[in-house]
Amino acid sequence: MIKNSAVEMAKALSSNEISSVELTQAHLDQISKVDTDVHAFLHVDSEGALAQARDVDARRKAGEKLAPLAGVPLALKDVLVQKGIPTTCGSKMLEGWRPPYDSTVVSRLKDNGIIILGKTNMDEFAMGSSTENSAYGPTHNPWDLARIPGGSGGGSSAALAAFEAPLAIGTDTGGSIRQPAAVTGTVGVKPTYGGVSRYGLVAFSSSLDQAGPCARTVLDAAYLHEAIGGYDRMDSTSINAPIPPVVEAAKNGNVKGMTIGVIKELQGDGYQPGVLKLFNQSLELLASLGAEIVEVSCKYFDYALAAYYLIAPSECSSNLARFDAMRYGIRVGEGSAEEVMSATRQQGFGREVKRRIILGTYALSSGYYDAYYGSAQKVRTLISRDFEAAFAKADVLVSPTAPTTAFKIGEKANDPIAMYLNDIATIPTNLAGIGGMSIPSGLAEEDGLPAGFQIMAPAMKDDRMYQVGSALEAALLSKWGKPILDNAPSLGAR
Cβ 53 vs Cβ 21: under 8 Å? yes
Catalytic residue check, 119: no
Report the SS3 class of residue 108.
Answer: helix
Structural element, H or E, at residue 59: helix 46-61
Cβ 69 vs Cβ 112: under 8 Å? yes
Report the SS3 class of residue 168.
Answer: strand
Which phi and psi (to 5°) does residue 201 adopt? -95, 115
> Measuring CA to CA, which residue among 153, 194, 195 is closest to residue 174?
153
Which phi and psi (to 5°) does residue 8 adopt? -65, -40
Q: Which of 91, 152, 205, 399 is catalytic?
A: 152
Report the SS3 class of residue 224.
Answer: helix
Residues 6+ apart with CB under 8 A from 121: 39, 40, 41, 42, 78, 90, 131, 134, 136, 137, 138, 139, 154, 155, 158
Cβ 263 vs Cβ 47: under 8 Å? no
Cβ 452 vs Cβ 178: under 8 Å? yes
226/107 Cα distance (integer angstroms): 14
Q: Which of 77, 119, 190, 412 is catalytic?
A: 77
> Measuring CA to CA, which residue among 402, 324, 360 is closest to residue 204?
360
The DSSP secondary structure of 402-451, one letter per residue, reads SSSSPPBTTSSTT-HHHHHGGGTTTHHHHHHT-EEEEEEEEE-TTTS-EE
Strand order across the beta sheet in which 450-457 lies: 41-44, 115-120, 73-77, 167-171, 211-215, 187-190, 435-443, 450-457, 396-400, 259-263, 292-296
Residues 6+ apart with CB under 8 A from 335: none
Catalytic residue check, 77: yes
The length of the chain, given as a count of residues: 494
Considering Cα of 276, then 427, then 436, then 299, what sign does the dihedral take? negative
35/43 Cα distance (integer angstroms): 11
The residue type at 377: Q
Cβ 227 vs Cβ 183: under 8 Å? no
Q: Which of 91, 157, 176, 314 is catalytic?
A: 176
Give the chain's largest Cα–Cα span.
70
Catalytic positions are: 77, 152, 176
